[in-house]
Amino acid sequence: MSCIDDIEEPVVRYAPVGFLVREARQYWEREQAHALRRAVFCVEQGLFAGDDRDAIDDQAQLLVAMSCIGGMPDQVVGTVRIHSPAPGLWWGSRLAVHADFRSQGHLGATLIRLAVCMARAQGCRSFLAHVQAQNESLFRKLHWRSRERLDLHGRPHVEMEADLAAYPPCHDAVSGFVSRGRSAPCA
């Protein structure tokens, strides 16, 4: 048996304990964010065939949540985009967290927080989203109110609006927010 045959998989793997949530800066961050969106909205949820990109992506600001190793961003595990179709009015959309990282580091909540705080720093007076109905209580917990129920892409959605008083302006979206993972080293 060669030495290589003796090498076993490590018995202890470490889950990331830190996440960086910020505006996407690098090409690989944008590419991984779009790949994650395809995995969630096309494959997992079947809302779109093949690709979920649309004309809004040409004007949107893209945010990413990244797991970190040794303090350095390693991979994109969450994303959302924001855009402003009219002065003062902002929309958030395509919020997605990788299935393996849900309910671990408040990544969805932190992406929502940065999205609204970034928009506020750019003159937002109203921040809206079409939220999938199963996520309405998550947004309510985060100080959003429901405005209208509607069907989009064949699924029930709720138009919701953020309470801007809960979201102070963030002028440094490139530094972003740090979120701590819930999990310790795991076997």
For the bound state, the minimum distance from the C-beta of residue 119 to ligand COA, rounded and expressed in Å, comes to: 17
Of 21, 62, 76, 95, the residue at the interface with ligand COA (CB under 6 A) is: 95
CA 179 → CA 44, 47, 51, 100, distances in Å? 25, 29, 29, 16
Residues 6 and 48 sit within 8 Å (Cβ to Cβ): no
108 makes contact with ligand COA (CB under 6 A)? yes
For ligand COA, which residue has the nearest CB?
108
Structure token digits, residue 65: 């949540």
List beta partners, residue 164: none
Distance separating alpha carbons of residues 43 and 149, to the nearest angstrom: 25
92 makes contact with ligand COA (CB under 6 A)? no
Q: Binders of ligand COA: how many residues, by CB under 6 A?
A: 16
Please identify which residue in the block is written with the tokens 């779009």: 34
Of 109, 121, 128, 178, the residue at the interface with ligand COA (CB under 6 A) is: 109
**Closer to ligand COA by Cβ: residue 73 or 108:** 108
Q: Which of residues 4-63 bind ligand COA (CB under 6 A)?
A: 40
Please identify which residue in the block is written with the tokens 């893209």: 62
Which secondary structure element, helix H or strand E, spans residue 108, and what is its range? helix 107-121
Name the site residues for ligand COA (rule: CB under 6 A): 40, 95-97, 102-103, 106-109, 131-132, 134-135, 137-138
